[in-house]
Amino acid sequence: MKALLALEDGRTFRCRSFTGPGETGGETVFNTSMTGYQEVLTDPSYRGQLVTMTYPLMGNYGTCPEDIESGRIQVAGFLIREYQEFPSNFRSTAPLADYLKQQGILGIHQLDTRALTRHIRKTGAMRGCISTMELDPDVLVKRARRIPAMAGQDLASAVTCDQPYFWKDGKPLVCETDIRTMGRPAPTCKDKPFFVVAFDFGIKYNILRGLSKAACDVLVVPAGTDAETVLALEPDGIFLSNGPGDPEPVTYAVDTIKTLIGKKPVFGICLGHQLLGLALGGTTYKLKFGHRGANQPVKNLLTGRIEITSQNHGFAVDINTLNRKDIEITHINLNDDTLEGFRHRRLPLMAVQYHPEASPGPHDAEYLFDEFRKMMENR
């Protein structure tokens, strides 16, 4: 089925739909991962985005319920070069096209993804609109320009959980008790002595698996949960999750984090890293085309080692706005020298911009979950 992708700057790309008719729009970005498309599709950090995969072949291993990172597909649309409709994988339960169609997500192929990626790298991520029903370039460009810009959007409130839940036996378990009066829950087993409250700004399931592996019982709470409620739960540590959109409008979370700093050990990832930077007096800005992929090089300034990391973000903390008397820079991006990690010199607090839980991606940074556990042990 013929389709058209139109960008807000007037550039258009002819393509075809492999999921049937439809129209959608969002910020057009690219991901450089070679595999892991199902994890990408279900990552809440991609809410409101048209995701282009730079690796040409997608769909070859199908889809599997065990590989999801949230309860639904999060991307606005999926853009690829070549779709493989006959998957070869003993774990597969459905082809990629069926998986997308079941959730009403438009999938596009026979698109010149290399040209699109080069264009985004040159001009920056921008709004785009895809349609199989409207193939007039001028009309579709106008529709792309009417899509809300990513800057200024609080999307964390759109993807956060409706009610608190525990992470138990590898899956969410809704908390039936009012957490405002619940108090600290009893440990589920002797092998998990630490209790962590995780703010859900768009949390990935593999983060919860990583915390659980690090001997933590985890209670996930909505993004708008206040500091008083969290402290009443008497956690050993507080986790700030990844998520979509611009961190600056998420002022309610920044105010809560300010109150929590110094009270308990805090670990932030991705959007959580940015919100923690804002709470410490820093500022954030939008990157030209962001960092998205499972092969991003980061230097650990504490050890001198290079880590290959999984990343997904379009905003960054301005490294020059953090108070260096209190904040120590721990990680730097080797492609563009942007801030990838910091910790407080006196308080139990650390954050990284990338994803140590990977999924998809390498496991170079899994040690950070152990660092968080040690921070709670020392506390």
Alpha-carbon gap, residue 129 to 108, rounded angstroms:
12
Q: What DSSP line would sit under 123-184, residue for residue?
A: H--EEEEEESS---HHHHHHHHHHSPPSTT---HHHHS-SS-EEEETTEEEE--S-HHHH-S
Bridge pairing between strands 49-53 and 57-58: unpaired
Question: One of 273, 331, 344, 355 is an active-site residue; which one?
Answer: 355
Write out the two tokens for 377: 């042990």
Residues 6 or more apart in contact with residue 33 via CB below 8 angstroms = 40, 53, 55, 293, 294, 295, 310, 360, 361
The C-alpha atoms of residue 268 and residue 353 are separated, in whole angstroms, by 8
**Angle at the Cα of 351 from the Cα atoms of 206 and 264, rounded to 5 degrees:** 95
Contact 168, 187 (CB under 8 A): no
357 among known catalytic residues: yes
Active site residue 355: yes
The single residue of 69, 119, 270, 307 carrying the catalytic annotation is 270
For 320, left (φ over 0), alpha (ψ -120 to 50), or beta?
alpha
Q: Which of 27, 248, 340, 357 is catalytic?
A: 357
Catalytic residues: 270, 355, 357
